[in-house]
Chains A and B, each alone.
Chain A
């Protein structure tokens, strides 16, 4: 094993014998399966406001979570003190979920080959602080230079390095070092009595250099400023049902809300999802193929191994409109007899893993984006969104457009004010009549919340035309 892989053994004096002892304690009252999740997370963040770096933060968080699974039951306990007696105590607490004779865990821990999707040695977190500070000052300057009406600029930079070790009674042994970084810029424009805002940001599991080459502070600052200036002249968004064209990239949050959550295996195992029982059935037009892919290099939603120690996958969720699969973790896969797709994720050692998305996107189609716009008589062209939410059970979902335009007689016209779009997950994709050839993934800023747990994710779509959706404006 290389140096990196011995991190927890070195730092906390762990041995394989200790790990076996903890697993033994976890299965001390029976149960089919137990695992230990060690985490050591370091983070740095900086934020600029009024052209000053007003705050800088660094944090260290370390701990171990112990899970015991017995049938459909899960017992969980964690400790932020990695002393052996504390881990043993957590293991004995989690063990209380089961009530039977002690089981002997499988002790032949075996480490499977894992991919290497992101840099570790020169991850963003390793860069000098002064270089990170320079990024937020550059963003401030670029946003103010864009237009004198840009009056307020906030720019922030954050990175983290997460080291994990997952040990399971099924023999799982997986270590990973997961870098993550992002920049974000938020601006306010003022012109007489009018105010507006704009925001932009991005990053990923990348080297620091990406902020100097591709995802530069100027790129994000200009984008945020452009949105804010544009919004100064926005008109009221119309209300009611109309044709909607989604621009490529971040508007893929539609997929995340409309179908992504509904295809997480836990909801389907419990039959609480509007998608329950639809495997093999048509849930989208035949132009739609949607995947969840945790194996893309350096993407925000990518992982070498998930938080249960399984390698991630490129999982086809919908193929030519037919529902093909769910996103599963160990528990769901075992209870439903499904393949484990490596979607078991958790926010931290304090949390129980569950099926979560990684990078969810729709594959490109054949249509030219300009032809899609031309085909719309009266509708909305939405290119930026501020996030969304879904009710898994009735399938209703929303996402809020922060940059959108009217389409009139095949032409993009006036920008409109913020408006929420609402639809029904199981049928919104059946109304997709055109799919562009311009698939784009988002810039790397998405965070998904489920049951109080936040994890980084990615989304993407090509330009899409939805024949009918409800747009929640105030105009006519």
Chain B
């Protein structure tokens, strides 16, 4: 199905531009407004029966104003004329109590713009199914999972979700930009029980911007079942140091911590172990990390960031050298650098930093080959908890996975932690897989890391 060119919804553009105009009339020296509109549908089918069916739409509006060097922002779901007037007045009023920040401000007019061309972010087919068909997708995913093995006796269900969003950004340089986005997803969460009566669950999913690219419910269900089954009979292992292989999901989580560490917001406040390391080579020569907000159809793709600056491709780490932080207008000014088009926010709050499509450059070997090269070690397939200290890089998270014996997966492992330091971990990438697959806005191939500690018995 081809991308649909959507008719411009004039009233949303006018609303956003009107809010900016009103803010300037009331004394703002610069202003930005965001209008976000969205619809969501979700259903859960559990043990063959519909459990929930949810369908709704919403609209909200936010404004950020500068009065000189003082900033404030307000949001509302009341889009009536009075609601909008109150929104703007409150923001101007609120700006009286904030501090003069010499670095504050919206981007320069020359920095504004959009990535040209069709980015493939919106397909109206995600909303084309009837409720009965949507329920059927969820039902099929669960059914396929439970059919794989008699030990799969329970389930948290199969799901089908669809959503569409429409975002408009306007600012006092006269910029008005908008884009639509769409998502659909299928998931299954089967539960298995082992001989000792212990339960395990795992999940799998497929997410896409168009139904045409969504994996079949049967494929999703089958993989979910395999993932649950391989956990049955999991045991604890001894406390030890062995090579650890992280699969794509867990490696992606590790790479997500690297994103947090190159976030310009954390850098200028020295809240990251990578602060002050620009131009240095804190990592091994095999590490290259890129952020690209322009990949057609990508989950992290947008034509412009939350300040109206075009997104772009930024090489963050190249052959172990820290080449760039990821920044918005404010953090770039603080660091004496230029924005990388990574401003991010919901409605018009203070912009933070968001990634585009953030990935680690793949290597040569398949996951199978990487595992084959490990005499004794651990394949980590899931993390539990959030034990990461970005200031020091210290990392300690709960984990489960598979023990590796002589290059083969031997048995499932649980109730352990894996710990190390992110700086050292990414300096000790013994292997980088060739299996880069986009299942979200952050993607990482399989990684083998040396020198980490497993805590168990």
A positions within 8 Å CB-CB of B: 46-50, 52-63, 72-81, 90, 93, 96-97, 129-130, 133, 151-152, 154, 188, 190, 195-197, 237, 239-241, 270-272, 274, 350, 352, 386-391, 393-394, 396-400, 417-424, 470-474
Known A196-B392, A197-B389: A473·B453 in contact at CB below 8 Å: yes
CB distance from B85 to the nearest CB of A (A): 13
A396/B349 contact (C-beta < 8 A), A62-B78, A197-B389 known: no
What are 30 A-B contacts defined by CB distance under 8 Å?
A: A46-B97, A52-B100, A52-B101, A55-B98, A59-B76, A60-B78, A61-B60, A72-B51, A195-B273, A196-B392, A237-B396, A270-B154, A389-B398, A394-B199, A396-B415, A398-B384, A400-B396, A418-B392, A418-B394, A420-B387, A420-B417, A420-B419, A422-B455, A470-B236, A470-B415, A471-B417, A472-B398, A472-B416, A472-B418, A474-B419
- Docked-complex contact A61 and B239, CB < 8 angstroms: no
Q: Which B residues are CB-close (under 8 A) to A352?
A: 52, 54
- Please give, as numbers and ranges, the residues of chain B lying within 8 Å of A61 by CB-CB distance: 60, 75-77
Stretch at the interface among B66-74, B143-151, B428-436: B66-74
CA distance A270 to B52 in the complex (A): 14
Is the pair A97, B386 in contact by a Cβ cutoff of 8 Å?
Answer: no
Query: What number of B residues sit within 8 Å (CB to CB) of A?
Result: 79
- Residues in A whose Cβ lies below 8 Å from that of B301: none
Query: CB distance B385 to A239 under 8 Å?
Result: no
Structural contact, B72 and A196, CB atoms closer than 8 A: no
Q: Which residues in A have their C-beta under 8 angstroms from that of B457?
A: 240-241, 470
Question: Could you give, for residues 366-409 of chain B, a 1 whenever the CB lies within 8 Å of some chain A CB and a 0 otherwise?
Answer: 00000000000000000011110101101011101000000000
Q: Are B53 and A96 touching (Cβ within 8 A)?
A: yes
Q: B192 CB to closest chain A CB, in angstroms?
A: 9
Once A53-B97, A54-B101, A188-B269 are accepted as A-B contacts, the answer to whether A400 and B56 lie under 8 Å apart by CB is no
CB-defined interface of B253-269 with A at 8 Å, one 1/0 digit per residue? 00000000000000001
Which of B56, B59, B156, B387 is A350 in contact with, Cβ under 8 Å? B56
Is B295 among interface residues, defined by CB-CB distance under 8 A?
no
A73–B51 contact, CB under 8 A? yes
Contact with A along B325-353 (1 / 0, CB 8 A): 00000000000000000000000011000
Residue of B nearest to A394 (CB): B200
Q: Are A239 and B453 in contact (CB under 8 A)?
A: yes
Whether the pair A424, B415 counts as a contact (CB closer than 8 A) is yes
A80-B398 CB under 8 A given contacts A54-B104, A352-B54: no
B271 at the interface (CB under 8 A from A): yes
Other than the given A58-B72, A422-B417, 18 more pairs (CB < 8 A) read: A54-B71, A55-B72, A56-B94, A57-B73, A59-B74, A60-B86, A76-B54, A80-B58, A188-B270, A272-B154, A389-B386, A394-B231, A400-B396, A417-B394, A422-B415, A422-B416, A472-B416, A473-B419
Chain B residues lying within 8 Å of A394, measured Cβ to Cβ, are 198-201, 231, 234, 414
CB distance from B116 to the nearest CB of A (A): 33
User: Residue B99 at the A interface, CB < 8 A?
Assistant: yes
Given contacts A400-B396, A419-B396, contact A73 B53 (CB under 8 A): yes
Asked if B15 CB lies within 8 Å of chain A CBs, one says no
Partner of A55, one of B71, B79, B270, B456: B71
B398 touches A396 (CB 8 A): yes
Contact A74 B51 (CB under 8 A): yes
Contact A73 B455 (CB under 8 A): no
Q: How far is the CB of B113 from chain A (nearest CB, A)?
A: 26
Q: Does B420 contact A (CB under 8 A)?
A: yes
Interface flag for B180 (CB, 8 Å): no
Q: Do A474 and B453 have beta carbons less than 8 Å apart?
A: yes
- Most chain A Cβ neighbours within 10 Å, of B90, B270, B391: B391
Check if B215 is an interface residue, CB within 8 A of chain A. Answer: no
Interface residues of B in 406-457 (CB under 8 A from A): 414-421, 452-457
Closest to A76 in B: B54
B98 contact set on A, CB distance < 8 A: 46, 52-56
A384 vs B236: C-alpha distance when bound (angstroms): 26
CA distance A350 to B73 in the complex (A): 23
Q: Which 6 A-B pairs have the closest CB atoms?
A: A472-B417, A398-B385, A398-B398, A52-B99, A239-B455, A420-B387
Interface centre among A52, A151, A472, A473 (most CB of B within 10 A): A472
Chain A nearest Cβ from B437, distance in angstroms: 24
Given contacts A58-B90, A61-B77, A393-B199, A420 and B396 within 8 Å (CB-CB): yes
A417 contacts B398, C-beta separation under 8 Å? no
Q: How far, in Å, is A247 (CB) from chain B's closest CB?
A: 18
Q: Is B3 among interface residues, defined by CB-CB distance under 8 A?
A: no
Known A396-B384, A423-B415: A190·B270 in contact at CB below 8 Å: yes
Residues of A contacting B280 with CB < 8 Å?
A: none
Contacts of A75 in B (CB 8 A): 52-54
A351-B51 Cα distance, complex, nearest whole Å: 15
B364: Cβ under 8 A from any A Cβ: no
- In the complex, the answer to whether B72 meets A57 with C-beta atoms within 8 Å is yes
Residues of B within 8 A of A188 (CB): 269-271, 391
Closest to B393 in A: A195
Name the contact of B73 in the complex, choosing from A52, A55, A74, A133 (C-beta under 8 A). Answer: A55
> Which residues of chain A have C-beta atoms less than 8 A from B384's C-beta?
389-391, 396-398, 422
Contact assessment for B77 and A63 in the assembled complex, using a CB-CB cutoff below 8 Å: yes
CB distance from A437 to the nearest CB of B (A): 30
User: Which of A59, A129, A424 has most B Cβ within 10 Å?
Assistant: A59
Roughly how many angstroms separate A244 CA and B385 CA in the complex, as a whole number? 19
Minimum Cβ distance to chain B for residue A308 (Å): 16
- In the complex, A387→B388 CA distance in Å? 11
Give the distance to chain A from B243, nearest Cβ to Cβ, in Å: 16
Alpha-carbon separation in the docked complex, A473 to B452 (Å): 10
Query: How near does chain B come to A445, taking the closest CB pair, in angstroms?
Result: 15
Q: A473-B455, A474-B419 are in contact. Are A56 and B53 (CB under 8 A)?
A: no
In the bound assembly, the distance between CA atoms of A386 and B385 in angstroms comes to 10
Q: CB-CB < 8 A to A398: which residues of B? A: 384-385, 387, 397-398, 417
B118 within 8 A of A: no
Q: Which residues of B89-135 are within 8 A (CB) of A?
A: 90-91, 94-95, 97-101, 104, 131
The complex places the Cα of A350 from the Cα of B55 at a distance, in Å, of 10
Whether the pair A80, B59 counts as a contact (CB closer than 8 A) is: yes
Chain A residues with CB under 8 A of B415: 396, 422-424, 470
Which of B73, B78, B455, B457 gathers most chain A CB within 10 Å?
B455
Q: In the complex, what residue of chain B is closest to A132 when comparing beta carbons? A: B97
Q: Provide the residues of chain B in CB contact with A63, threshold 8 Å.
A: 58, 77
Contact of A274 with B199 in the complex, beta carbons under 8 Å:
yes
* B62 smallest CB distance to A (angstroms): 8
Residues of B within 8 A of A386 (CB): 386-387
